[in-house]
Amino acid sequence: MDYRSTRKVEIVHLNSQAPESDQVCVEEPLQLRLVGPPDGPTPIAVTLRTPGDDLDLVTGLLFTEGYIDKPDEIEDLSWGDPFDFNTLDVTLRYPLPSYLEPNGAPRFINSACGACSKTTLSQIASRSPVSEAALTVPRDLVVKLPDQLRLQQEIFDATGGIHGAGLFDCHGNPVVVKEDVGRHNALDKAIGWVFRNVLSPHTVLESSILCVSGRVGFEIVYKAARAQVSTIIAVSAASSMAIDLAGQLNMTLAGFTRSGESTIYCGEFRLR
């Protein structure tokens, strides 16, 4: 657990007047700047995140937001100058496609919403591949994954208030689990970690099951689809747009996965 991801605050319980200290998760802005031929550094986004795993976060965010298609398009990741843990400069090997060139003020991405930074829903859908994954998932594994995710959540143990996103293999073994104050950031961190640490990232992602600690909104399905993750298991509900997009893209989506039960919204054909 990164030392910057939590901090102590002074509190008083409702039924006690004695001051105490408690751990809370940290939320801070991270400015993302692109550096590359021919321009840079150009601010393109500010996201609110929990510090820690920032290189993974930015790698995953650039991929799921469509700025890159492969991790080797990133030449270098470096902290802002003067040294600043809340600014990351990303040097790309190639110029940005014209339709992705940043213009105007950098976008603001809050803790609750990732894909809302996109300009149109049609742009999102057009960049999401229809899943052809041959992955099958044991039904008894579906209800076990939230507990497996929970076992890996160190920051939640310390604070009781942070989202988790984990990628697991078809046997329930964790590939990677990440945490963040933003559920979409936690997923970007997990995807970015795979890109930065695995020799065949797309093969691993295609064969992984995503489990998230809260609800599933549109942006979670979109980001998973961009990474070719076909199956999403959630502890809480899914939104209507999330269900519609998952169905449109031939994905498997399950919610309310707890106490040995789960609600399958679409893609039951992958369950065995």
What is the average pLDDT across 95-107? 58
pLDDT at 141: 97
pTM: 0.90
User: How far is 201 from 192, CA to CA, in rounded Å?
Assistant: 10
From the list 25, 113, 116, 211, the catalytic residue is 113
Count the alpha carbons within 13 Å of 42 in the hemisphere toward its beta carbon.
18
Helix, strand, coil percentages in the chain from 3-state DSSP, rounded to 5 = 30, 30, 40
pLDDT in tens, 239-252: 999 999 999 999 99
User: How far is 154 from 133, CA to CA, in rounded Å?
Assistant: 31
Q: Which residue is it, tokens 């065949």?
A: 200
The superfamily in CATH containing domain 139-270 is Cytidine Deaminase, domain 2 (3.40.140.10)
User: How far is 259 from 103, CA to CA, in rounded Å?
Assistant: 48
What are the angstrom distances between the C-alpha of 259 and each of 74, 140, 210, 249? 43, 12, 19, 28
pLDDT in tens, 182-229: 999 999 999 999 999 999 999 999 999 999 999 999 999 999 999 999
What residue ranges do the domains of the chain occupy? 139-270
Which residues are CB-contacts of 175 (< 8 A; sequence separation ≥ 6)?
Answer: 166, 167, 168, 169, 194, 204, 208
Backbone angles phi and psi of 72, in degrees to 5: -75, 0
For residue 80, is pLDDT > 90?
A: no
pLDDT at 2: 85
As given in the structure block, the two tokens for residue 207 are 């064969």
pLDDT in tens, 155-179: 999 999 999 999 999 999 999 999 9
pLDDT at 117: 46
User: How far is 169 from 172, CA to CA, in rounded Å?
Assistant: 5
pLDDT at 131: 66
pLDDT band with cut points at 50, 70 and 90 for residue 67: confident
pLDDT in tens, 2-20: 889 999 999 999 888 889 9
- Per the annotation, the verdict on 170 as an active-site residue is no
pLDDT band with cut points at 50, 70 and 90 for residue 101: low
